């Protein structure tokens, strides 16, 4: 019995020991390759708190899967529903991908900048205010265009969206609108001659070795800019890691650092404390002076980036959005999961 107890004690001690891993340059990984796997038992991680948080999340009825990349290594990949090959409807995470594509349009001088007005793309617009809506207004959801998520089922989705009366003068307020980001997808097609799906395949997804995805279209064949993507969990994490790396992969600038910075800048604060807000189709929060930003989709789909902790988290969920699932998941994420990683400046 004594030998057995000593064996168990030694096993527990070994389990809790800090693993000495080779340090990766997590600011410049080659994202065309799979992530290296890593241990939760490393400097900067409270593995007991992390394991507890993951178990709490997995016990939620609508929770599907979670991947965590810490300092460039995939240390968590767990599934309640599906597996690594599964594609998940990420809904409005699609918007943040559209933002990345517009960064590439501007980086490559296909588009002059984000201040180009709608009149350049839709000369048939007669409303003097609508003509002045800029790409930036669409990226920050301050265009005034109302939302109506039925647009993919309309015979002409773009006319259906553009004929609606503005809610306010462009640039004066904020309203969530998937319809507005679908206009961005159409603008991309106008300036490139390619669907957003095809442009993304050539300029973004192929460079990250993302090949298993679906991007739905409206009746005219325009990639659904509001909520049309299905992605694998690990590919969601790759997109987050690309942003953590300021848009580069093995020194290849896929998205310029200038665009990453603009995307993650709080262009639209939601309160006077600036504790939460909106960037270029990315959400953000400030907690005790620490910034995190994220792509978010209906029902609990997330790509979360916490630069001060070298942390990327991808989460997928059921789309039922039932009961208190959203608030329960957020509480677990912020308190238990993010809280289990220390800031880099304290290590």
| Residue 110 structure tokens | 């296909």
**What per-residue confidence (pLDDT) applies to 19?**
82
The angle formed by the CA atoms of residues 12, 17 and 22, to the nearest 5 degrees, is 145
Assigned domain for 103 exists: yes
Assigned domain for 167 exists: yes
Q: What is the mean pLDDT of residues 176-192?
A: 98
Q: Using CA atoms in the order 157, 162, 163, 164, what is the torsion angle rounded to 10 degrees?
A: 100
Assigned domain for 77 exists: yes
Q: What is the percent of the chain with per-residue pLDDT over 70, rounded to a whole number?
A: 95
Assigned domain for 257 exists: yes
- Taking only the tens place, the pLDDT of each residue in 19-36 is 889 999 999 999 999 999
CA-wise closest residue to 136 among 187, 192, 90:
187
Range of the domain at 153: 24-346
Assigned domain for 295 exists: yes
- Taking only the tens place, the pLDDT of each residue in 221-279 is 999 999 999 999 999 999 999 999 999 999 999 999 999 999 999 999 999 999 999 99
CA dist 137 and 113 (Å) reads 12
User: Is the model's pLDDT at 7 over the cut of 60?
Assistant: no
Instruction: Bin 315: left if φ > 0, else alpha if -120 < ψ < 50, else beta.
Output: beta
CA-wise closest residue to 281 among 226, 236, 234:
226
**Sheet strands (E) in the chain:** 36-37, 63-70, 73-79, 87-91, 214-215, 229-232, 248-249, 252-253, 268-269, 276-278, 283-287, 290-297, 301-306, 311-317
**Structural domain count, the chain:** 1
Q: How confident is the model at residue 2 (pLDDT cuts 50, 70, 90)?
A: very low
CATH number assigned to the domain comprising residue 185: 3.40.710.10
Q: Using CA atoms in the order 57, 60, 63, 68, what is the torsion angle rounded to 10 degrees?
A: 0
Q: What is the mean pLDDT of residues 185-208?
A: 98
CA-wise closest residue to 129 among 143, 113, 111, 146:
143
Question: 3-state DSSP call for residue 10?
Answer: helix
Give helix 233-244 / helix 93-107 axis angle, nearest 10°: 40
Burial letters for 249-284: b for 16+ Cβ neighbours within 10 Å, e otherwise?
A: beeeebbbeebbebbbebbeeeeeeeeebbbbbbbb
User: Is the model's pLDDT at 8 over the cut of 50?
Assistant: no
Assigned domain for 17 exists: no
Assigned domain for 242 exists: yes
**What per-residue confidence (pLDDT) applies to 16?**
57
CA dist 56 and 333 (Å) reads 10
Assigned domain for 243 exists: yes
CA-wise closest residue to 38 among 9, 18, 10:
18
- Taking only the tens place, the pLDDT of each residue in 34-87 is 999 999 999 999 999 999 999 999 999 999 999 999 999 999 999 999 999 999
Q: How many of the other CB atoms lie within 10 Å of CB of 128?
A: 8
Q: If DSSP states are collapsed to H, E and C, what string results for 265-293?
A: CCCEECCCCCCEEECCCCEEEEECCEEEE
- Taking only the tens place, the pLDDT of each residue in 277-329 is 999 999 999 988 999 999 999 999 999 999 999 999 999 999 887 679 999 99
């Amino acid at each position: 019995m004594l030998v057995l107890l000593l064996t168990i004690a030694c096993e527990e001690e070994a389990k809790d020991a800090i693993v000495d891993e080779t340090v990766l340059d997590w600011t410049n990984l080659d994202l065309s390759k799979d992530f290296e796997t890593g241990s939760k038992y490393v400097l900067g991680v409270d593995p007991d708190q992390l394991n507890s948080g993951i178990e709490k999340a997995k016990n939620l009825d609508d929770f599907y899967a979670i991947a965590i990349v810490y300092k460039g290594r995939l240390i968590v990949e767990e599934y309640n529903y599906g597996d690594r090959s599964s594609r998940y409807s990420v809904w409005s995470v699609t918007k943040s991908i559209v933002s990345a594509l517009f960064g590439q349009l501007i980086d490559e001088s296909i588009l002059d900048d984000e201040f180009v007005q709608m009149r350049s793309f839709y000369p048939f617009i007669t409303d003097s205010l609508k003509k002045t809506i800029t790409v930036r207004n669409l990226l920050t959801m301050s265009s005034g265009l109302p939302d109506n998520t039925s647009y993919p089922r309309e015979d002409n989705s773009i006319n259906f969206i553009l004929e609606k009366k503005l809610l306010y003068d462009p640039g004066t307020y904020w309203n969530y609108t998937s319809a507005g980001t679908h206009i961005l997808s159409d603008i991309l097609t106008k300036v490139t001659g390619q669907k957003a799906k095809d442009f993304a395949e050539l300029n973004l997804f192929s460079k990250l070795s993302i090949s298993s995805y679906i991007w739905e279209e409206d009746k005219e064949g325009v990639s659904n800019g509001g909520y049309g993507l299905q992605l694998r969990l690990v590919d969601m994490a790759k997109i987050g890691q690309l942003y953590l790396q300021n848009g580069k992969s093995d020194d290849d600038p896929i998205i310029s650092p200038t665009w990453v910075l603009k995307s993650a800048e709080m262009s639209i604060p939601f309160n006077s404390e600036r504790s939460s807000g909106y960037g270029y189709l990315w959400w953000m929060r400030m907690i005790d002076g620490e910034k995190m930003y994220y792509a978010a989709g209906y029902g609990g789909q997330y790509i979360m980036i916490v630069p001060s902790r070298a942390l990327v988290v991808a989460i997928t969920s059921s789309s039922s959005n039932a009961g208190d699932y959203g608030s329960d998941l957020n509480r677990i994420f912020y308190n238990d999961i993010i809280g289990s990683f220390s800031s880099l400046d304290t290590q």
